[in-house]
Amino acid sequence: MNFKEKLQFDSEHLWHPYAALKNTPARFLAKTAHGTTIETADGLKLIDAVSSWWCVAHGHNAPEIVQAIQQQSEKMCHVMFGGFTHEPAIELGERLVRFLPQGLNKIFYADSGSIAVECAAKMAVQYQYAKGHPEKCKLVALKGGYHGDTAGAMALSDPDGMHVLFRGIMPHHFFAERPNCRADEPWNDSDFKSMEKMVEEHLGEIAAVICEPVFQGGNGMWLYNAVYLKKLRELCDRCGILLILDEIASGFYRTGPRFAMEHAQILPDILCIGKALTGGSMTMAACVASEEVADTITNSRISAFMHGPTYMANPLACAAGIASLSLFESRDYGASVKRIESRLKQNLLPMKSLENAADVRVLGAIGVLELKAKPSNEDILKVIRETGVWLRPFCNYVYTMPPLITTDAEIDRICEAIRLVGECEPAPIVSGEDDFHE
Ligand X SMILES: Cc1ncc(COP(=O)(O)O)c(C=O)c1O
What residues are labeled active site? 18, 146, 246, 275
Which residue of 147, 173, 178, 258 would you call a contact of ligand X, by CB under 6 A?
147
Residue 114 interacts with ligand X (CB under 6 A): yes or no: yes
Residue 112 interacts with ligand X (CB under 6 A): yes or no: yes
**Rounded to the nearest whole angstrom, what is the least distance from the CB of residue 217 to ligand X in the complex?**
4
If residue 202 lies in a helix (H) or strand (E), which one and from where to where? helix 193-202
Residue 118 interacts with ligand X (CB under 6 A): yes or no: no
When the beta carbons of 152 and 375 are compared against ligand X, the nearer one is 152
When the beta carbons of 18 and 99 are compared against ligand X, the nearer one is 18
| Structure-derived torsion over alpha carbons of residues 109, 315, 94, 335, reported in degrees to the nearest 10 | -90
Name residues contacting ligand X, limited to 66-105 (CB under 6 A).
none
The region of 38-46, 63-71, 243-251, 417-425 touching ligand X under the rule CB under 6 A is 243-251
DSSP secondary structure, 15-68, as one string: --TT--SSSPPPPP-EEEEEBTEEEETTS-EEEETTHHHHT-TT-BT-HHHHHH
CA–CA dist 149, 151 (Å, integer): 6
Residue 111 interacts with ligand X (CB under 6 A): yes or no: no
**Rounded to the nearest whole angstrom, what is the least distance from the CB of residue 53 to ligand X in the complex?**
6
Alpha-carbon separation of residue 143 from 137, 373, 412 (angstroms): 19, 21, 33
When the beta carbons of 112 and 324 are compared against ligand X, the nearer one is 112
CA angle 101, 106, 108 (to 5 degrees): 115
Question: 220 in the Ramachandran plot: left (φ > 0), alpha (ψ -120 to 50) or beta?
Answer: left
Residue 279 interacts with ligand X (CB under 6 A): yes or no: no
Residue 218 interacts with ligand X (CB under 6 A): yes or no: yes
What's the DSSP call for residue 400?
A: E
When the beta carbons of 249 and 288 are compared against ligand X, the nearer one is 249
**Rounded to the nearest whole angstrom, what is the least distance from the CB of residue 2 to ligand X in the complex?**
33
**Rounded to the nearest whole angstrom, what is the least distance from the CB of residue 216 to ligand X in the complex?**
8
The region of 21-29, 246-254, 325-333, 351-359 touching ligand X under the rule CB under 6 A is 246-254
When the beta carbons of 208 and 351 are compared against ligand X, the nearer one is 208
| DSSP SS3 for 395 | coil
Residue 323 interacts with ligand X (CB under 6 A): yes or no: no
Residue 37 interacts with ligand X (CB under 6 A): yes or no: no
Residue 183 near residue 345 (C-beta atoms within 8 A): no
Residue 217 interacts with ligand X (CB under 6 A): yes or no: yes
When the beta carbons of 35 and 213 are compared against ligand X, the nearer one is 213
CA–CA dist 198, 406 (Å, integer): 42
Residue 212 interacts with ligand X (CB under 6 A): yes or no: yes
Residue 146 interacts with ligand X (CB under 6 A): yes or no: yes
Residue 128 interacts with ligand X (CB under 6 A): yes or no: no
When the beta carbons of 283 and 356 are compared against ligand X, the nearer one is 283
Give the closest residue to 114 by CA, choosing from 366, 335, 307, 316. 307
Beta carbons within 8 Å of 167's beta carbon, 6+ residues apart: none
CA–CA dist 157, 144 (Å, integer): 7
Residue nearest to ligand X (CB): 113
Give the closest residue to 208 by CA, choosing from 123, 300, 305. 123
**Rounded to the nearest whole angstrom, what is the least distance from the CB of residue 250 to ligand X in the complex?**
7
Residue 213 interacts with ligand X (CB under 6 A): yes or no: no
Which residue of 33, 117, 210, 232 would you call a contact of ligand X, by CB under 6 A?
117
Which residue of 257, 274, 364, 422 would you call a contact of ligand X, by CB under 6 A?
274
| DSSP SS3 for 283 | coil
DSSP secondary structure, 81-117, as one string: SSS---HHHHHHHHHHHHHSPTTEEEEEEESSHHHHH
Give the residues lining the site for ligand X (CB under 6 A): 112-114, 117, 146-148, 212, 217-218, 246, 248-249, 274, 285, 438
